[in-house]
């Protein structure tokens, strides 16, 4: 009897050991993981830069480098890639080329946004009235491969992480609304991933900053290629934290821009002003997130839906139809794109395929089921300005943004589909 007990004990221990390994393996698979990576997209030699519709202007000087920055978040079978690109906008026609190169993540879970710098190469291949374009198509195709490589590297860099998430008012002379100075959202949302294991345990893996602003201090008329204020912002955060920084723009339409106003009525339009604003916003973002309660093993959720917008604008219809990037749907009266809703810990994220006006941004944030809402503007597509029907073509100030909008119903459809995503999705987790 004694011998039987002795012989059976190792079997039981072995069984417990195996079950323990299985449990640890399952627990690890369900643990929140974060990885980051980036790729330099600065063209060499320099290319002409685009500030909007029309042929890009030559550039002979470089101030800062252009990047694609990637944060991959994973838990169990869910993987999400958030990509921020230093460009005016990044159409789905290019984003989908990258998505096809990344088999490890469902294409609808790869969220690609643009910082909206007005000093980067044309990514739309805007056609002029004769159908001529000034974009370098080989450069754009090279970019799509670089971005895919960055996503794959971020996947390889996945490691267990806690999250710090916060939203607060960014103080100081950062942005204002050029059309109505006080009509803008001063709130900055920040998501920071903190390593929980390894040599850099307790240190940031990546910091994501979400704020609504036009990075157009330099613009496209000075012959300068630049990430504008976003470059110094990312540099500052990376220098202070040791982790990667990624900026995702917000609802900055009509016209929430950098506050580079001078007392003499003029504007500061140089690299030093980019550094001033970028550093200030970086410092404010780090201040806002500094005392956030770390969220261990945060929840993760991702959903998406296809959205269609009528194209009423002759100019927008012409661009979508005649760009060599094949941005159209085959139907000259409809633009189609993807909208995402993400729950990352206590944060909820909505993507916007263009430049939504601040009132739309305020409304959507108010309807989101979280105290820390994020709006990723110019993401998955960038179909110009997005107005509500009551604002569309209603004020002289809005003539330009009306002209560069798909149509009167764009804002209404966006709001309706965003609310549908919110209603049908689980609420983000709450801090216990």
Model confidence at 298, pLDDT cuts 50, 70, 90, reads very high
Residue whose C-alpha is closest to residue 204's, from 222, 190, 224: 190
Helix, coil or strand: residue 223: coil
What pLDDT score was predicted for residue 432? 63
pTM assigned to the model: 0.92
- Predicted confidence (pLDDT) at residue 385 exceeds the cutoff of 50: yes
Task: Tell me: pLDDT of 20 over 80.
Answer: no
Average pLDDT over residues 96-119: 98
Q: In the chain, what percentage of residues exceed pLDDT 70?
A: 93
Using the predicted structure, report yes or no on whether residue 28 has a pLDDT greater than 90. Answer: no
pLDDT, mean over the chain? 92
Tokens for 380? 């998955």
Q: What is the pLDDT of residues 192-204, one digit of tens each?
A: 999 999 989 999 9
pLDDT single digits (tens) 393-426:
998 989 989 999 999 999 999 999 999 999 999 9
Report the candidate in 237, 155, 148, 232 with the shortest Cα–Cα distance to residue 191: 237
Would you place residue 363 in the very low, low, confident or very high pLDDT band (cuts 50, 70, 90)? very high
> ∠ CA 420-192-115 to the nearest 5 degrees?
65
**Domains in the chain: boundaries:** 300-424
With cut-offs at 50, 70 and 90, classify the pLDDT of residue 429: confident
Give pLDDT tens digits for 90-101. Answer: 999 999 999 999
* pLDDT of the residue at 68: 98
For the chain, percent of residues with pLDDT exceeding 90: 82
- Residue 130, pLDDT score: 84
What is the pLDDT averaged over residues 375-385? Answer: 96
Question: Is residue 341 classed as helix, strand or coil in its secondary structure?
Answer: strand
Contact predicate 350/418, CB 8 Å: yes
pLDDT digits (tens, 9 = 90+) for 218-264: 999 999 999 999 999 999 999 999 999 999 999 999 899 999 999 99
Q: pLDDT tens digits for 340-354?
A: 999 999 999 999 999
CB distance 108 to 132 below 8 Å:
no
Phi and psi at 109, nearest 5°, equal: -95, 5
For residues 253 and 221, what is the distance between their CA atoms, to the nearest angstrom?
Answer: 21
């Amino acid at each position: 009897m004694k011998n039987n007990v002795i012989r059976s004990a190792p079997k039981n221990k072995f069984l417990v050991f195996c079950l323990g390994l299985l449990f640890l393996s399952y627990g690890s698979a369900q643990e929140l993981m974060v990885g980051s990576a980036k790729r330099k997209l600065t063209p060499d030699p320099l290319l002409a830069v685009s500030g909007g519709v029309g042929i890009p202007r030559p550039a002979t000087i470089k101030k800062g480098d252009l990047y694609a920055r990637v944060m991959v978040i994973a838990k169990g079978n869910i993987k999400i890639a958030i990509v921020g690109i230093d460009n005016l906008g990044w159409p789905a026609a290019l984003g989908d080329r990258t998505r096809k190169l990344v088999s490890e993540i469902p294409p609808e879970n790869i969220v690609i946004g643009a910082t909206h710098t007005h000093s980067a190469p044309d990514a739309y291949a805007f056609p002029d009235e004769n159908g001529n374009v000034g974009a370098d198509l080989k450069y754009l195709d090279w970019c799509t491969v670089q971005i895919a490589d960055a996503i794959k590297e971020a996947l390889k860099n996945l490691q267990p992480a806690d999250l710090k998430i916060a939203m607060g008012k960014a103080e100081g002379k950062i942005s204002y609304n050029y059309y109505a100075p006080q009509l803008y959202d001063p709130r900055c949302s920040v998501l920071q991933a903190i390593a929980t294991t390894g040599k850099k345990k307790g240190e940031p893996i990546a910091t994501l900053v979400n704020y609504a602003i036009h990075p157009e201090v330099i613009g496209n008329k000075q012959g300068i290629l630049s990430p504008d204020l976003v470059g110094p912002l990312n540099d500052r955060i990376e220098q202070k934290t040791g982790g990667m920084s990624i900026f995702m723009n917000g609802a900055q339409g009509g016209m929430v821009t950098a506050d580079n106003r001078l007392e003499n009525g003029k504007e500061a339009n140089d690299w030093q002003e980019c550094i001033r604003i970028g550093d200030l916003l970086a410092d404010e973002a780090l201040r806002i997130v500094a005392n956030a309660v770390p969220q261990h093993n945060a929840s993760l959720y991702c959903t998406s839906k296809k959205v269609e917008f009528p194209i009423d604008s002759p100019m927008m219809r012409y661009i979508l139809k005649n760009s060599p990037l094949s941005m159209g749907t085959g139907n000259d009266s409809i633009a189609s794109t993807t909208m995402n809703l993400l729950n990352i810990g206590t944060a909820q994220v909505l993507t916007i395929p263009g430049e939504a006006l601040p009132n739309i941004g305020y409304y959507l944030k108010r309807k989101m089921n979280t105290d820390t809402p994020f709006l990723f503007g110019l993401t998955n597509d960038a179909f110009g300005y997005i107005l509500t029907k009551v604002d569309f073509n209603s004020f002289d100030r809005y003539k330009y943004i009306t002209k560069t909008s798909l149509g009167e119903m764009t804002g209404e459809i966006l709001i309706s589909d965003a609310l549908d995503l919110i209603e049908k999705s689980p609420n983000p987790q709450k801090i216990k």
